[in-house]
Amino acid sequence: MSTVTAATASAAPVRVRIAPSPTGDPHVGTAYIGLINFLYARQRGGQFILRIEDTDRTRFVPTSEQMIFDALRWLGLTWDEGPDCGGPFGPYRQSERTEIYREHAQMLIDNGTAYRCFCTAEELEAVRKQQTAAKLPPRYPGTCRHLSAAQSAENLAAGKPFVVRMVVPAGSTTFRDELRGDITFEHSNVDDQVLLKSDGFPTYHLANVVDDHLMQITDVIRAEEWISSTPKHVLLYQSFGWQAPRFWHMPLLRNIDKSKISKRKNPVSLVYYRDSGFLPQAVINFLGLMGGGMPSPTPIEIVNGAKENEVFSLQQMIERFEVPNIRLGGPVFDLTKLRWLNSEYIRALSPEQFYAALRETVLSDRYLSQIAPLIQSRVDTLGQFGDLTSFLLRDDVMPPAEVWVPKKRTPEETLLFAAEQLAVLEATDWTLEALEPALKQLGESRAWSVKENFMLLRAILTGSTMSPPLLESMVVFGKARTLDRMRRFLETQKKLAAQNQPKK
């Protein structure tokens, strides 16, 4: 094993973090940014911190945090401080730090860089309407910025609800992005941001800056989409009189068509990749290819004679990857390539390892023991297990039209309804209690009978008109894989329909 270059090894220990919000399944983007932070810390003898940013209670999903932990561990991205293992700068869950944010908001009010805003939702809406009518961009007009101390105290004493906003002075902010150089934002484009909401919870900007400072983060390495937040953060550091960390904004992962990665075009849930039998070594290798931080050409081990210098382990990345080498052109998350890489790793396994991998994932005791009760009352012999459950063991299922189009419906309206089913399921908790009413409500609102509604879903999921209990099967198959199957179905049917269009 070679060591890190002297220049990096001798640099001061760094502290980096990822700060995912638990709003659903863990995202491939979180793993990508996690990997970059992990490598940066490991190469420099620094610390990698996991902080959970759970202050947006409207988007909070209780099961999400544990899924984030599991997914990062699955990939081998272990953290040194975090909500589960603690550390000297805890708590590492923002909902447990609200008092800290309130105190810090007060510090800014006291030094004049923030103020209480008592404007009501109606007042703000009225202003917004006027601005829209005048074709002006929606802006907070600064009404409460000019409130006298006495007026503010009076409102406070009267118990009027308020938010705390930061003063964004006239002028501009310039900050250095380590990958891009200086970036300047004119303040005329920046509103007086809300820092503390009326429920006493902080917004992202306040909590993020206070925590990065208190947790002594030296380098903020995050996705490009946060660049427009950075001037606000830099202003906040100045308002507190703190030194800002270094900022690195990583290029966003892209779909093949170069649009920002989205679940419409790619599975983005790490749970999907794990449950469909991608190997963690392949996924982490693939994420390491994004952005091109590996030196090239690389004299590194090549699995199964793969021609490209593209196959490397997490350990090899720790030895050779360099964050400053990252290229800014959007890295393309190409599923075909990931499958190829996965196949390389699969072929490199010994037969024992391959069998073990199957038994840990698609044929795990956990999974099979959930499937068994679905069919016990439906088989005459144990040998029929596969006949009834193959849809839960297969990667791809594609029903023929006579199976998925209900008798009284056209293919077009059926596909529209299937897309609506997908949207509803995306937004639904993956439990029987939540799934059943959500689907029924959709059916009622679109005048689709329960029978048609469930038959369509059954056809898409199982490829057939008959199956073990549908919702139970979906729960066992899991949200990430069910949604993927529906997306693939819609995608395929769209393509088929386009092919069948008469040529003009």
Number of residues binding to ligand GLU, judged by CB under 6 A:
7
**CB of 44 or CB of 222, closer to ligand GLU:** 222
**CB of 4 or CB of 227, closer to ligand GLU:** 227
Sheet holding 15-18, edge to edge: 47-50, 15-18, 219-223, 246-250, 172-177, 181-186
Q: Which position among 197, 263, 337, 495 bears the catalytic label?
A: 263
Interface with ligand GLU, residue 20, by CB under 6 A = yes
Contact of 463 with 486, CB cutoff 8 Å: no
Interface with ligand GLU, residue 289, by CB under 6 A = no
CA distance readout (Å), 367 to 187, 267, 372: 54, 21, 9
Interface with ligand GLU, residue 421, by CB under 6 A = no
Shortest Cβ distance from residue 93 to ligand GLU (Å)?
Answer: 12
List the beta bridge partners of residue 16.
48, 219
3-state SS assignment for residue 269: strand
Interface with ligand GLU, residue 270, by CB under 6 A = no
**CB of 55 or CB of 239, closer to ligand GLU:** 55
Interface with ligand GLU, residue 53, by CB under 6 A = yes
Rounded-to-integer distance, Cα 130 and Cα 109, Å = 29
Question: Which of these segments, 14-22, 40-48, 366-374, 409-417, binds ligand GLU (CB under 6 A)?
Answer: 14-22
Determine how β-strand 172-177 pairs with β-strand 15-18. unpaired
**CB of 36 or CB of 294, closer to ligand GLU:** 36
Shortest Cβ distance from residue 19 to ligand GLU (Å)?
Answer: 4
Interface with ligand GLU, residue 19, by CB under 6 A = yes
Shortest Cβ distance from residue 204 to ligand GLU (Å)?
Answer: 6
Question: Which of these segments, 15-23, 40-48, 186-194, 391-399, binds ligand GLU (CB under 6 A)?
Answer: 15-23
User: If you write DSSP's letter for every residue of 473-487 in order, what string do you get?
Assistant: HHHHH-HHHHHHHHH
- Amino acid 197 reads K
Interface with ligand GLU, residue 435, by CB under 6 A = no
**CB of 21 or CB of 281, closer to ligand GLU:** 21
- Return the exposure string of 403-419: e unless at least 16 CB atoms fall within 10 Å of the residue's CB, then b: bbbbeebeeeebbebbe
Position among 16, 21, 273, 278 found at the interface with ligand GLU (CB under 6 A): 21
Which residue's entry shows tokens 């309206």?
A: 413
Active site residue 263: yes
Question: Which of these segments, 18-26, 63-71, 399-407, 427-435, binds ligand GLU (CB under 6 A)?
Answer: 18-26
Interface with ligand GLU, residue 226, by CB under 6 A = yes
Angle between helices 385-393 and 470-477 (to 10 degrees): 50
Q: Could you tell me the end-to-end alpha-carbon distance of the chain, in angstroms, rounded to an integer?
A: 62
Interface with ligand GLU, residue 83, by CB under 6 A = no
Question: Which of these segments, 16-24, 110-118, 275-283, 472-480, binds ligand GLU (CB under 6 A)?
Answer: 16-24
Shortest Cβ distance from residue 240 to ligand GLU (Å)?
Answer: 17
Shortest Cβ distance from residue 33 to ligand GLU (Å)?
Answer: 7
Rounded-to-integer distance, Cα 504 and Cα 488, Å = 27
DSSP state, 357?
H
Q: Among positive and negative, which fits the CA dihedral 75, 79, 82, 85? A: positive
Position among 208, 281, 389, 453 found at the interface with ligand GLU (CB under 6 A): 208
Question: Which of these segments, 17-25, 62-70, 382-390, 482-490, binds ligand GLU (CB under 6 A)?
Answer: 17-25
- Return the exposure string of 429-465: e unless at least 16 CB atoms fall within 10 Å of the residue's CB, then b: ebeeeebeebbeebbeeeebeeebbbbbbbbbbbbee
Interface with ligand GLU, residue 60, by CB under 6 A = no
Shortest Cβ distance from residue 173 to ligand GLU (Å)?
Answer: 17
Neighbours of 350 (CB within 10 A): 8
Residues serving a catalytic function are: 263
Residues that bind ligand GLU (CB under 6 A): 19-21, 53, 208, 222, 226
